[in-house]
Copies of this chain bind each other. A is one copy, B any other.
Amino acid sequence: MAMNEKNKGKAVEAITSMNEDFTQWYTDVVLRAELIDYSSVRGCMILRPYGYAIWENIMHLLDKRFKETGHENVAMPMFIPESLPQKEKDHVEGFAPEVAWVTHGGTEELTERLCVRPTSETLFCDHYSHIIHSYRDLPKLYNQWVSVVRWEKTTRPFLRSLEFYWQEGHTAHADEEGAEAETLRMLDVYADFYKESLAIPVIKGRKTDKEKFAGAKATYTIESMMHDGKALQSATSHNFGDGFARAFDIQYTDKDNTLKYVHQTSWGLSTRTIGAIIMVHGDDNGLVLPPAVAPIQIVIVPVAMHKEGVLERANALKDELSKKYRVKIDDSDKMPGWKFAEYEMKGVPLRIEIGPRDIENNQCMTVRRDNGEKLPVSLDEIGDKAGELLQAVHDSLYEKALALREGRIYDVTEYGEFCRTIAEKPGFVRAMWCGDKECELKIKDDTQATSRCMPFDQEIISDKCVCCGRPAKHLVVWGKAY
């Protein structure tokens, strides 16, 4: 990705319009808002301070939720000996084609190759087999914040990269019910986080067997709709049953003094999430950040800075607001118009302009990033009012995303219409499915759409599979996906 020359250029140009070329718009935003830089390693991105600060906020908010639900953080090695994943057949088949191999350490060739973790189920299983002995040791509710590597052929910042950042939760439970409850609980944590912190509505559902995680008994997912109508798998939660436990011999002595296998789960959310934020909320002026994860929630731009008292009052305002919010004041010598454009590009949710006339009137001008709405606010009330405005930005981002999504979900019962809808209308299609993988493959061949999930809100909109006409078993949400 030797695109640094291009990157340099973009720093001063306007960005591509999203309706003109959504892919280019995305790349422009990612670079122009200084979220990432390309590195000298193919498909590996550099998270720049502004991009990393968004990820820090995501980590902080999610980690709090994980700890509140009793989870503990650990750190596993980044390497996995080649023999370890072999123990679980489905799992190794799923990941072997896309791992990076370490073959030499220093000047020596290794006797056993090490793979750079693409995910860490096998490491957790190995560890659990050492530390779980009794029912008293259960449940084990572990999580780790790390980067993982998957050798992808084509890559895009945040959406698909060789190395990406994520958290992976790995838990062990005494029985099936415990594992299933955990799997669903963490899916709910993700869905709630998406709604409350990212202002993104999601569809919760279960993956078909074809789409589930390698080695899982059941995979649950939250799916969100991007601005171009495509789906983004936004987080997943897997119930492994006792499959890994049998492969790795993770047994415990139960109260009744018998040996039993544990039941396990894993669940993950990655820096893809930043891609979702960009593609759900962004517009032709750049990034639009939900306040909960915005590195700068409020930017103060003093107007006519050289006039007596303006900078002092602006700084006093900054000090006041900084007690509650993440605030930046831009007192550089750039023109206010340049600053407005810059912080719009960076998606700062709220801008406050303050000049001599405002100060005279004991007020400031607030400007919302999401809809450009301007509102003069008394300087006596701005402390609380800023919070209300940030909440309003959040709510309106969510409502807008929800309305856009709801307007682009099509219920279809006939295959010709199904194919036409996928081809012509950006969005999701809801249609019945017989449960047969052949129909999924045919649909993908014909339309490029995949089954995103069998939503928890099941409805019978037809008694026949939309593809083959045989009796329908599930309502499925279909769509083209990132």
**Could you list which residues of chain A lie within 8 angstroms of chain B, going by C-beta atoms?**
4, 7-8, 37, 39-41, 44-49, 52-53, 55-56, 72-81, 84, 97-107, 114, 116, 123, 126-127, 130-131, 142, 146-147, 149, 151, 162-163, 165
Contact = CB atoms under 8 A, between A and B. Distances in A.
23 contacts: A7-B130, A8-B130, A37-B131, A39-B77, A39-B127, A40-B80, A40-B84, A40-B126, A44-B77, A46-B123, A47-B74, A48-B74, A49-B74, A49-B142, A52-B73, A52-B75, A79-B100, A97-B107, A98-B106, A100-B106, A100-B114, A103-B103, A146-B147
Contact of A165 (B75, B106, B149): B75
B107 A100 contact: no
A40 B73 contact: no
A151 B106 contact: yes
Contacts of A103: 101-104
Nearest to A133: B8
A163 B7 contact: no
Given A72-B49, A98-B106, A105-B151, A41 B163 contact: no
Given A39-B123, A39-B127, A40-B80, 11 more contacts: A37-B130, A40-B123, A44-B79, A46-B74, A46-B75, A52-B73, A56-B73, A78-B116, A78-B163, A79-B100, A99-B105
A46 B142 contact: no
Contacts of A165: 75
B77 A45 contact: yes
Nearest to A144: B52
Contacts of A74: 46-49, 52
Nearest to A150: B106
Given A47-B75, A98-B106, A126 B52 contact: no
Contacts of A151: 105-106
Nearest to A3: B130
Nearest to A47: B75
State the oligomeric state as a number of copies. Answer: 2
Q: Which residue among A73, A79, A151 has the maximum number of chain B CB atoms within 10 Å of its CB?
A: A79
A147 B84 contact: no
A130 B9 CA distance: 12
Contacts of A106: 97-100, 151
A19 B444 CA distance: 69
Contacts of A84: 40
Contacts of A131: 37, 48
Nearest to A165: B75
Contacts of A73: 49, 52-53, 56
Given A104-B101, A116-B102, A40 B75 contact: no
A106 B99 CA distance: 5
Contacts of A37: 127, 130-131
Contacts of A126: 39-40
B46 A76 contact: yes
Contacts of A47: 74-75
Contact of A81 (B41, B130, B162): B41
Contacts of A40: 80-81, 84, 123, 126
A105 B80 CA distance: 15
Given A100-B102, A102-B101, A106-B99, A41 B77 contact: yes
A37 B147 CA distance: 21
A46 B45 CA distance: 27
A130 B37 CA distance: 9
A441 B405 CA distance: 71
Contacts of A8: 130
Nearest to A83: B40
Contact of A77 (B49, B76, B163): B163
Contact of A79 (B41, B55, B80, B107): B41
Contacts of A39: 76-77, 123, 126-127
